[in-house]
A and B are shown apart, each in its own frame.
Chain A
Amino acid sequence: MSYRILEKQQYSEKVFKFRIDAPKMAAHAKAGQFLMVRANECGERVPFTFANWNADEGWVEFIFMVVGKTTQMLSSYEVGDEILDVTGPLGQPTEIDEGRWCVIGGGVGLAIANPVARQMVEAGREVHVIMGARTKDLLLLEDQFRSFLDDDHLHITTDDGSYGEQGVVTAPLERLLQEKAVDHVFCVGPVPMMKFSALTAEKYNTPIIASLNPIMVDGTGMCGCCRVEVGGETKFACVDGPDFDATQVNWADLQMRQAAYRTEEGESLKAFEEGSCSCQK
């Protein structure tokens, strides 16, 4: 089995999309699910949510932002290169309940929000999307969202006001909720964004699900690295999620567990940049 890169697209300095050859995976992928990549023999296993897939053509896509060693190395892969191991689909698909939806994507979470929103539109739902980013350059996939949404259904915020409305995603969310324009909310992005989106939706008694992204090792429920407290119970994001009721998530816990290897991640990236590790494509 080879996972050849069929297409590579660069959205910004640090954000890339890969289309890879994976016919069986493509035939079974659903919105909200993820795959796990091990780039080479010494690679770690890293989860990425499906950005898109095509069962007829036999490919899946994922989007990644360069944040550490693995993503840095992946960004150097070109069309025709092969990724050593790709496992998926994993996780529970996003459940698209009846009603009108608001999909919120923050930062690299937009890569996940995009296929989820598209699936909802394809399922016949009315969908509002709120795109949030720190600054204009980090706002991903605007064209891809516009391909299935009109101006009235696309809301853009940037922290620095360089594009769209200045501020954070909760402002347009609150307006939509006040206008009773949506029945369900889906959010994916950095922890503070999801946490405050949850608080906002809760205020209006509107159900909100969050797609969580903790560190994973095996991705099949065996190791428990990705555990997260939801409603006072321990859940495994890889098999019980990654979607959970956002009002029930212990965000402080999640944020701490996500940061648990920050020092090692820095060390690993440094070794890679200095060429002191022997990793190759």
Chain B
Amino acid sequence: MPEVNGRYIPNAKAPRVPDNEEPAAERACDFRPVDKGYTKEMAIEEANRCLNCKKPLCVDGCPVNIKIPQFIEAIRAEEFGRGLDIIREDSMLPAICGRVCPQESQCEGVCILNKKGNPIAIGQLERFLGDQPELGSTPKIAPKNGKKVAVVGSGPSGITCAGELARNGFEVTVFEAFFTGGGVLVYGIPEFRLPKAVVKREIDGLTELGVKFEYNSVVGRITTADELFEEGYDAIYIATGAGLPKFLNVPGENLPKVFFANEYLTRVNLMRANEFPEFDTPTKHGKNVVVFGGGNVAMDAVRTAKRLGAERAIIAYRRTEEEMPARRAELHQAKQEGVEVMPLVAPLEFIAGEDGNVASVRVQRCELGEPDESGRRRPVPIEGAIEEIPCDVAISAIGTNANPFAELIGGMELNKWGYIVANEETGATSNPRIWAGGDIVTGAATVILAMGAGKKAAADITEKLGA
């Protein structure tokens, strides 16, 4: 540790320790994790750059206010278990959030070191600790309080809420529609960005805490809120996630080989279509793949296409790179892997080839106009600037609408778009026994926000029912 007379002197002029990435040419051929994460030495070197600000902006930048300077200080002191415990006071999923949070628009985005160069790699340091869960102290488990909670959905929000409640003495059952746990963490986010083993570790941890999982259980169909209460559940936490893909609403969208990203990603991530025919679910291996969208899902889809053998994999976005909501790391890694970014285009029509499958897409070239409500500059079509891009697989990744099962579960108020109306601070809904959080409340958002909502709801459920 750099010290003068026992006082810590940050090594702020040192460059940020680069990500520990696999070589792009090699990793783009398979699904191995792209980022191997910091070694101990790298983590300590990076931690030594932290100014340990008196008024840390990073903590405010974190949606769940993780005590970032404190855990970084613990890394400096090589007290990794203590560092992990500090994170766990605010976040239950550091191994996951360290990998998938958009740090550049949260904690790292406000780091004071941005002014002098590069911010502290907070995400990398969080992940470094999160990947060594065995070092943390064993969480205290409250004695059983005799209350039962049903958690609907095993995505980041559901598993966080379930874990907190189990530690608070509740008997918790998680209902999951798929045959395995993790929700979007397993069907949506690819192995190369978030290894399944990391998610499984979280699920296994819950099982060890006594949380029960009922897979293949679509709440709203196999049971309803009322029935769960009749069965003796005292409360329900609904975290079904975002749902139906949004349509591009252009002709040809239903042609074979035009996918919604959710289907394209689920086939590979959950059903392992990349291992067909060893695994039964097939997918389409395009040579020329165009993905519409600019978020993380679009990045995941285009990088998956590359790994399935695409010679040309294009991200087509209606604004420019600067406005893309994707994590910077994903965009940077995608480009390293040979993904082409085509800014300022909007799809007009998918055109079928002789075999009936999509063969090209007509796009409208745009330029940036005045900012819209989101503050981002609006794409404006350039008259007459229409092009045709050949493609044998096209993927739409422009977001999702509300999950239709919220209505079928019943028992609480929904807004006009079908999302559950819930208190931001507590997750409480119009039904005093139902709480909700994550994307089914906020619309598609981030893993950390979903995790935070699960944590807040667990606290409120504990306060209301725990005694």
Contact = CB atoms under 8 A, between A and B. Distances in A.
A264 B282 contact: yes
Q: Which secondary structure dominates chain A's binding surface? A: mixed
Interface string B72-90: 0000000000000000000
Interface stretch (A4-12, A142-150, A214-222, A241-249): A214-222
Interface string B242-283: 011101000001111101101100110001100011111110
Interface stretch (A37-45, A160-168, A197-205): A37-45
Interface residues of B, number: 41
Given A25-B222, A28-B223, A87-B218, A43 B280 contact: yes
B179 A277 contact: no
B216 A234 contact: no
B7 interface: no
A59 to B, nearest CB: 15
A225 B270 CA distance: 15
Contacts of B215: 1, 85
B256 A256 contact: yes
A87 B253 CA distance: 28
A233 to B, nearest CB: 9
Interface residues of A, number: 47
B400 to A, nearest CB: 8
A70 B281 CA distance: 10
A118 interface: no
B77 to A, nearest CB: 45
Given A85-B215, A253-B254, A268-B276, A221 B223 contact: no
A221 B280 contact: no
A218 B178 contact: yes
A234 B247 contact: yes
A90 B218 contact: yes
Nearest to A68: B280
A55 interface: no
B244 A234 contact: no
Contacts of B245: 222-224
Interface in A175-230: 217-218, 220-225, 227-229
Contacts of A277: 277-278
Q: Which secondary structure dominates chain B's binding surface? A: loop
B263 A223 contact: yes
Interface in A253-281: 253, 256-257, 259-261, 264-265, 267-268, 271, 277-279
A220 B405 contact: yes
Given A44-B281, A229-B254, A268-B277, A222 B221 contact: no
Given A221-B404, A224-B260, A277-B277, A234 B271 contact: no
B143 interface: no
A78 to B, nearest CB: 21
Which residue of B255, B259, B263, B356 has the most chain A CB atoms within 10 A of its CB atom? B263
A44 B271 CA distance: 7
A218 B266 contact: yes
A271 B277 CA distance: 7
B232 to A, nearest CB: 15
Contact of B244 (A42, A90, A221, A225): A221
A21 B106 CA distance: 49
B403 A90 contact: no
A218 B184 CA distance: 12
B263 A221 contact: no
A107 to B, nearest CB: 23
Contacts of B267: 217
Contacts of B280: 42-44, 69-70, 268, 279
A88 B278 CA distance: 26
Interface in A31-86: 38, 42-45, 69-70, 84-86
Contact of B279 (A42, A229, A260): A42
Which residue of A70, A222, A267, A278 has the most chain B CB atoms within 10 A of its CB atom? A222
Given A44-B271, A224-B260, A268-B277, A85 B244 contact: no
Interface of A: 1, 24-25, 28, 38, 42-45, 69-70, 84-90, 217-218, 220-225, 227-229, 234, 236, 239, 250, 253, 256-257, 259-261, 264-265, 267-268, 271, 277-279
12 contacts: A28-B223, A42-B280, A221-B243, A223-B260, A223-B262, A224-B262, A228-B254, A239-B244, A256-B255, A260-B357, A268-B277, A277-B277
Given A90-B221, A218-B266, A221-B404, 6 more contacts: A85-B216, A221-B244, A223-B245, A239-B244, A260-B357, A277-B278
